[in-house]
Chains A and B, each alone.
Chain A
Amino acid sequence: MKKIQILGTGCAKCNKLQEISEQAAKELGIAYEVEKVKELNKIMDFGVMITPALVVDGEVKVAGKVPSLEEVKKMIQE
């Protein structure tokens, strides 16, 4: 099961990243779980200085922007 984490304090971009990530996982047909990480200290533990950020199985895939659906699919599959 893929573990997808969305790092961000809950702004519109953070919500958009979560929406795209879940859509990507569904279209890929993979088992996944999503966690929203809103606490700044926990976000900092990932070394992330800018949000939103996408983490897949513990690895930060992107920070500070919302990638396209196709880009997120690649990030999840890597």
Chain B
Amino acid sequence: MADCCSGGTTLLYACSGAADLGEISDMVARRLRDEGFGRMTCLAAVGAELSGFVQSAKGADINITIDGCGTACARKNLERIGVTPNAYILTDMGLVKGETPVTAKIVSEICEKIKDPACAPSQSIPVIKSGGCGCGCGG
């Protein structure tokens, strides 16, 4: 859902790749969205350079990418349009590509790590939780 007035907007992108870690990245993004941590949006649309998605990424306070492996397709999609995301890569977080079962437990563990400011990527800025309208318009 579009966010009124853009106050504290966090957008979430998953690589949603074909391997096990791609599937986990997708499930993690959806879980974080459902928990209200951020708003999930479409990485494919950014890759297709659809203007609404590109401009939303540029206008968001924080963009979070969740990639399964070090090829970092999600992060690179954002960087290609001039946006530096808070980038999480599941292999850097201890998961092994091709050898990780897609379970609710693993999804939960990754979600908790992403929500924990102490686990934020070194290049990232502190995560602002989405919700409400921060512009003072009463929205």
Of all chain A residues, the one with the shortest Cβ separation from B133 is A11
Residue contact B56 to A11, C-beta cutoff 8 Å: no
Interface centre among B9, B51, B58 (most CB of A within 10 A): B51
Indicate if B118 sits at the interface (CB-CB under 8 A): no
B5 — which chain A residues lie within 8 A by C-beta? 8, 11-14, 51-52
Q: A61-B55, A63-B55 are in contact. Are A51 and B2 (CB under 8 A)?
A: yes
Query: B45 an interface residue at 8 Å Cβ cutoff?
Result: yes
A50-B2 contact, Cβ under 8 Å, with A11-B135, A11-B137: yes
What is the distance, in angstroms, from B63's C-beta to the closest C-beta of chain A? 10
Contact yes or no, B9 A13, CB < 8 A: no
Give residues 21-70 of B contacting A (CB, 8 Å): 39, 41-42, 45, 50-56, 58-60
Given known A-B contacts A40-B1, A48-B56, A51-B4, A13 and B135 have beta carbons under 8 A apart: yes
Taking A13-B5, A49-B41 as contacts, is the C-beta distance between A59 and B56 under 8 angstroms? no
CA–CA, A32 and B9, complex, Å: 31
Contact mask A1-22 → B, CB, 8 Å, 1/0? 0000001110111100000000
Q: Mark B79-93, 1 if CB is under 8 A from A, else 0.
A: 000000000000000
Return the chain B residue nearest A62 by Cβ.
B55
The reply on B11 being an interface residue by CB < 8 A is yes
In angstroms, Cα B60 to Cα A40, docked, is 18
Q: Is the CB of A44 within 8 A of B1?
A: yes
In contact, B139 and A62 (Cβ under 8 angstroms) = no
Residue B3, interface by CB 8 Å = yes
B56→A63 contact, CB < 8 A: yes
Instruction: Please list the residues of chain A having a beta carbon within 8 angstroms of any beta carbon in chain B.
Output: 7-9, 11-14, 40, 43-44, 46-53, 59-65
5 additional contacts (CB under 8 A) given A7-B2, A12-B136, A51-B4: A9-B2, A44-B2, A49-B41, A49-B52, A60-B51
12 CB-based A-B contacts, threshold 8 Å: A46-B52, A48-B56, A49-B3, A49-B9, A49-B11, A49-B39, A51-B3, A51-B6, A59-B51, A61-B51, A64-B3, A65-B59
